[in-house]
Structure 1
Amino acid sequence: MSEQITVSQYIIRFLESKGITWIPGVPGGTILPLYESLAGSNIEHVLARHEQGAGFIAQGRARSTGEVSAVFVSSGPGVANLITAVADAQRDSVPLLIFSGQVPLGLMGTDAFQELPTVKIVSSVVKKVYLVEEPNQITEILEEAFLLCGEGKKGPVWIDLPKDIQTQKINLPENNIPFGGSSHLDFLEQVSKADPLSFESLDIFLDEFKFLLKSSRFPLLYIGGGAKKEYLRLREFVSRFQIPAVTTLMGLGIFEKDDPMNLGMMGMHGTVAANEALGVCDLLIGIGVRFDDRATGAIEKFCNQAKIIHIDIDAREIGKNKSVTLSLQKDISEVLPFLLEEDFQVQNKESLLQVETWKQIPEEHPMKSILLDFASVLPSGEHFVLTDVGQHQMWVAQYFPFHQPLSWITSGGQGTMGFGLPTAIGVALSHRDSHVYCFTGDGSIMMNLQELSTLREQNLNVKIILINNEHLGLVKQQQDLFYGSLYSGSKFHFHPDFSMLCESFGIVYYEWDWRSEVQDLETVLEKKGPALVEVRVPSSWGVYPFVPGGKSNQEYILGQVTT
């Protein structure tokens, strides 16, 4: 006779079989059966102080490891509080597996206590959402959901669990692998083996690729976060064929800062060289990119003189925002080895000389020296750099010398303030011997401030660098530029004492004067455990270059920043 276990016990065993060793969450009445099973397992629970924080903690693991991460929340407000973190994961292709409690099946649709129509609410921000209505559904749902999270274009998948379903018993499969086995699901084979890259289709693509490249005088690579796992091959590609490259915010670190072929970040706060190159290139090769508005500027003015090649894993992105000349729906990992075997003849000497001219245009800013000073005293060993969202995010993106892209983590598509601190906790939980640095602003830090308690409870090696200008900096900057310096809602009229705040949480505090020496800062960064470093800067500092909304990338503003 087969062993019988509850649905919640099956879920926990499944997660254990997938190598998940810790799960963040916030319990509540409708998910307590799952928590009961969790308590008897080898999986550690990380108690967040808010469900949004739990979602971002799970993101920290997923973004830094590339693996599917799980998160537990209860029904009603637990679901609603988590949605921001899930929407953020969906936009940046982060694999999250969400388990939410739900009222018992018999109460659904009655406006029961802490009931929300979860499936209806979250369906637009996940790859798929499941409502478990029969206990025996759970085996196939788990297998399918886990695969959907991590295969193809990664993203969040949601499983809604009525409370009474969690306690019902099911039989473990006989004569089969109970966890991780997929032989009984046609769906799994379809997803994992779909659309193989035939040699014939590849040959056609390569022939057209070579023809377009041979005909070009100013080819340019446009590289995004979807290509960062192949950063070493991409570095080899640009070095061998001497094709300059621009990157999106999410693609930073794919090329080293001082690589002569690296023109830097493009778009709203991109470099002069990157944005000018986009204006004159005659062939744009986009890899792992979405052609989103922050990167392209006014899409109707973007690279209108260029033929466009687009390689992306998601067919829905190809031609969505910009028509292309040649496309291939594939993971770049399947294509780059063949591209590197080719012998392209690139006739772009004049364009490379032009690139050098653009690179000479000064883009100096006091934040550049601050961030380079900070980078100069980082302890040796693996480290991760995260940001919240705001001016500090753009400054870090512009000036920090990233050595590889997997250590750079930020909220891209949604631009979620409050992202940094909880995500840094998740990164540190996944890389306990690494150094984790979270740059934040005095606006962003307040949006998930409660997770300082989680950070201290876990005693993680996270250093928070608080850039404090007493304003919502990007809002103020736009009010300065476009609204006659009418500061409505951008200035904080009360300023917390962050030293006392840190003392209340038991976290080391240090205020660093950016005009002073960096030795004291180095001492703080070397110490194990959490700390907050506050850096006060003038509110007059802006982020430049700046491409106003509705303008082309070549219509940038170069502001004057004084100290």
Structure 2
Amino acid sequence: MSEHITVSQYIIRFLESKGITWIPGVPGGTILPLYESLAQSSIEHVLARHEQGAGFIAQGRARSTGEVSAVFVSSGPGVANLMTAVADAQRDSVPLLVFSGQVPLALMGTDAFQELPTAKIVSSIVKRVYLIQEPNQIIETLEDAYQLCGERKMGPVWIDLPKDIQTKTISLPKETFGLDSYIKSNSNIDLLPIENDKSFESIHIFLKEFKILLDESKFPLLYIGGGAKKEYLRLREFVSRFQIPAVTTLMGLGIFEKEDPMNLGMMGMHGTVVANEALGGCDLLIAIGVRFDDRATGDIQKFCNQAKVIHIDIDAREIGKNKAVTLSLQKDITEVLHFLLEEEFSIENKDSLLQIETWKQIREDHPMKSILLDFASVLPGGEHFVLTDVGQHQMWVAQYFPFLSPMSWITSGGQGTMGFGLPTAIGVALSHKDAQVFCFTGDGSIMMNLQELSTLKEQNLNVKIILINNEHLGLVKQQQDLFYGSLYSGSKFHFHPDFSLLCQSFGIGYFEWDWNLGVNDLEKVLETKGPALIEVRVPSGWGVYPFVPGGKSNQEYILEKIVT
């Protein structure tokens, strides 16, 4: 005996079994069968106003919970619109499960209405793409895709669903119908393989060499990225116990407490003076969960060229890709860190710690620092998340904001996607209904997914948007000031909407914060439930400094240039 269920019904029941309670998307003709099944389920649909917005809303859940999140779009332009959010997820290792509609199998390759060769187009920005060509394929594909999203180095996986396939039936044993037991019996529950003796042996061989290099070092330095953030508490313990200073990437901010003397801050293009100077002075660089990307390293040929390099990363492709290493280990930091904490190291780095204190005296004051610290001082109690879009405001927040943990800090790293902030904040707030979500954006970035203010209002979420308005594309203007003789082309907005009227039209609260007048009124706005936009006007001459120009080493930074 068997029960019959359509492909689309099976997909929805599968997602229910994985604990997914809401899914963002934008429907269209080729995915309507899946939406019919969605409407009959317990899963809530979040109607985004643009497919890119839907993708970032899904990212908000995945980034803030670490869980696989799903998104639905239709074929053709729906697929094309979603691709930016998926590329962003791929670069930052965000587990996103994408379902796209496709024209019926018989019409594929005929240039049918709203047809794109989805699998061919998206193959380079996902871990894997599946085209479902026969009904029973969905059973194995769903489990494989879900596991692949969330295992090892996480990332997006795409499933393309021809419209006619969605309505086809598959047969399941009647005794398993209800699907929960059937899905479970067909699941590969263990995401990570059980360690064998050879794996443990490789760790112990690595630790032996690690200890030798560390004992020989006079200036060891930790270089920590987003790939290590889930172990931030034990990393704090490691740094505190052995007094090894650390620098972090943009994605690793919050791993160490802001005031920890061993925390030298963010490195790279807009990194702190002390972090970038330490990179030039260290003799042993211990890199964990990082990619050695150009924004962090500057000129890779000059990056830590006096240092031996140890690299621990979950992805073998990243080891040695950009920077030659002395010692490496392809492992999740979780599998290694407890061994490191059990070791005893004799570290003689007193002189390097004294040198670090000297570098810390180089002043990096900026008016935005006091603004952000004032803002942080009046945050309501309880759980909160801080997000940014991309631009000068992103770098200011990264430089100055006192993040509680790396889990509370969310930004677009590898792709640097303007328009990321607002929809991602919606996804975070949907996943943490009692938390306060603060999204810093710029007057350029906010316009790129402005339509999602409708989604924000519709969901009535506790999201406060802090709009840093300087009437320019700030980082573009800054580079034109520095490298193009202040010849401005395309960096100034000659027309701006009235954001107070704009908020009124969306039914969202508005407040203009004059940061010169203190924080009392601001505090009242932040304590108010529901969405609001807080506009902060700043001069366009405020740059982000320090600044390492492209092609330069991290020690060739520009410390300050204020243009009026």
Verify the 8 A CA contact 1:308 1:324 in the aligned structure 2. yes
One-letter amino acid matched to 1:383: H
Corresponding residue for residue 359 of structure 1? 360
One-letter amino acid matched to 2:151: E
For residues 236-247 of structure 1, the aligned pairs below 5 Å read: 236-247=237-248
> After superposition, what is the alpha-carbon deviation per residue over 1:515-562, rounded to whole angstroms, capped at 9, x for unaligned?
111000000000000000000000000000000000000000011448
One-letter amino acid matched to 1:193: P
> After superposition, what is the alpha-carbon deviation per residue over 1:75-117, rounded to whole angstroms, capped at 9, x for unaligned?
0000000000000000000000000000000000000000000
What is the CA–CA distance in structure 2 between the aligned matches of 1:407 and 1:257, rounded to whole Å? 14
Verify the 8 A CA contact 1:418 1:446 in the aligned structure 2. yes
Distance of aligned partners of 1:195 and 1:114 in 2 relative to their CA distance in 1, 3 Å threshold:
farther
Corresponding residue for residue 38 of structure 1? 38
Q: Secondary structure at the match of 2:278?
A: helix
Corresponding residue for residue 209 of structure 1? 210
Corresponding residue for residue 274 of structure 1? 275
Q: What displacement does 1:151 show?
A: 0.4
What is the CA–CA distance in structure 1 between the aligned matches of 2:27 and 2:346, rounded to whole Å? 60
Q: Is it true that 1:99 corresponds to 2:124 in the alignment?
A: no
Corresponding residue for residue 229 of structure 2? 228
> Number of paired residues?
561
Q: Is it true that 1:162 corresponds to 2:150 in the alignment?
A: no
Distance of aligned partners of 1:286 and 1:176 in 2 relative to their CA distance in 1, 3 Å threshold:
farther
Q: Secondary structure at the match of 1:254?
A: coil
One-letter amino acid matched to 1:119: A
Verify the 8 A CA contact 1:394 1:543 in the aligned structure 2. yes
Corresponding residue for residue 22 of structure 1? 22
Q: What displacement does 1:280 show?
A: 1.0
What is the CA–CA distance in structure 2 between the aligned matches of 1:280 and 1:133, rounded to whole Å? 57
TM-score by length of 1: 0.98
Q: Which runs of 5+ in 2 are unaligned?
A: none
Q: Secondary structure at the match of 2:374?
A: helix
Corresponding residue for residue 556 of structure 1? 557
Q: Is it true that 1:2 corresponds to 2:2 in the alignment?
A: yes
For residues 25-424 of structure 1, the aligned pairs below 5 Å read: 25-173=25-173, 178-179=179-180, 181=183, 188=188, 192-193=192-193, 196=196, 198-424=199-425
> After superposition, what is the alpha-carbon deviation per residue over 1:328-367, rounded to whole angstroms, capped at 9, x for unaligned?
0000001000100001111100000011111111100000
One-letter amino acid matched to 1:501: L
Verify the 8 A CA contact 1:5 1:169 in the aligned structure 2. yes
Q: Secondary structure at the match of 1:193?
A: coil
> After superposition, what is the alpha-carbon deviation per residue over 1:292-336, rounded to whole angstroms, capped at 9, x for unaligned?
000000111101110000000000000000010000000000100
What is the CA–CA distance in structure 2 between the aligned matches of 1:226 and 1:69, rounded to whole Å? 19
> After superposition, what is the alpha-carbon deviation per residue over 1:194-213, rounded to whole angstroms, capped at 9, x for unaligned?
77563321211111000000
One-letter amino acid matched to 1:538: P
What is the CA–CA distance in structure 2 between the aligned matches of 1:228 and 1:192, rounded to whole Å? 18
Q: What displacement does 1:236 show?
A: 0.2
What is the CA–CA distance in structure 2 between the aligned matches of 1:182 and 1:312, rounded to whole Å? 31
One-letter amino acid matched to 1:320: K
What is the CA–CA distance in structure 2 between the aligned matches of 1:161 and 1:300, rounded to whole Å? 46
Verify the 8 A CA contact 1:143 1:182 in the aligned structure 2. no
Q: Secondary structure at the match of 1:392?
A: helix
What is the CA–CA distance in structure 1 between the aligned matches of 2:207 and 2:214, rounded to whole Å? 10
Distance of aligned partners of 1:183 and 1:36 in 2 relative to their CA distance in 1, 3 Å threshold:
closer
Corresponding residue for residue 471 of structure 2? 470
> After superposition, what is the alpha-carbon deviation per residue over 1:375-403, rounded to whole angstroms, capped at 9, x for unaligned?
00000000000000000000000000011
Q: Secondary structure at the match of 2:58?
A: helix
What is the CA–CA distance in structure 1 between the aligned matches of 2:518 and 2:561, rounded to whole Å? 25
Q: Secondary structure at the match of 1:36?
A: helix
Verify the 8 A CA contact 2:245 2:262 in the aligned structure 1. yes
CA RMSD, Structure 1 to Structure 2 (Å): 1.4
Q: Secondary structure at the match of 2:223?
A: strand
TM-score by length of 2: 0.98
Corresponding residue for residue 507 of structure 2? 506
What is the CA–CA distance in structure 1 between the aligned matches of 2:274 and 2:354, rounded to whole Å? 12
Corresponding residue for residue 541 of structure 2? 540
Q: What displacement does 1:192 show?
A: 3.5
Q: What displacement does 1:162 show?
A: 0.1
> After superposition, what is the alpha-carbon deviation per residue over 1:55-93, rounded to whole angstroms, capped at 9, x for unaligned?
000000000000000000000000000000000000000
Corresponding residue for residue 13 of structure 1? 13
Q: What displacement does 1:514 show?
A: 1.2
Verify the 8 A CA contact 2:223 2:286 in the aligned structure 1. yes
Verify the 8 A CA contact 1:465 1:532 in the aligned structure 2. yes
Residue identity over aligned pairs, in percent, reads: 84
Verify the 8 A CA contact 1:365 1:561 in the aligned structure 2. no
Verify the 8 A CA contact 2:481 2:563 in the aligned structure 1. no
> After superposition, what is the alpha-carbon deviation per residue over 1:189-230, rounded to whole angstroms, capped at 9, x for unaligned?
896327756332121111100000000000000000000000
One-letter amino acid matched to 1:244: P
Q: Secondary structure at the match of 1:3?
A: strand
> After superposition, what is the alpha-carbon deviation per residue over 1:495-525, rounded to whole angstroms, capped at 9, x for unaligned?
1100000000000000001111100000000
What is the CA–CA distance in structure 1 between the aligned matches of 2:456 and 2:345, rounded to whole Å? 51
What is the CA–CA distance in structure 1 between the aligned matches of 2:192 and 2:466, rounded to whole Å? 42
Q: What displacement does 1:477 show?
A: 0.1
Distance of aligned partners of 1:194 and 1:86 in 2 relative to their CA distance in 1, 3 Å threshold:
farther
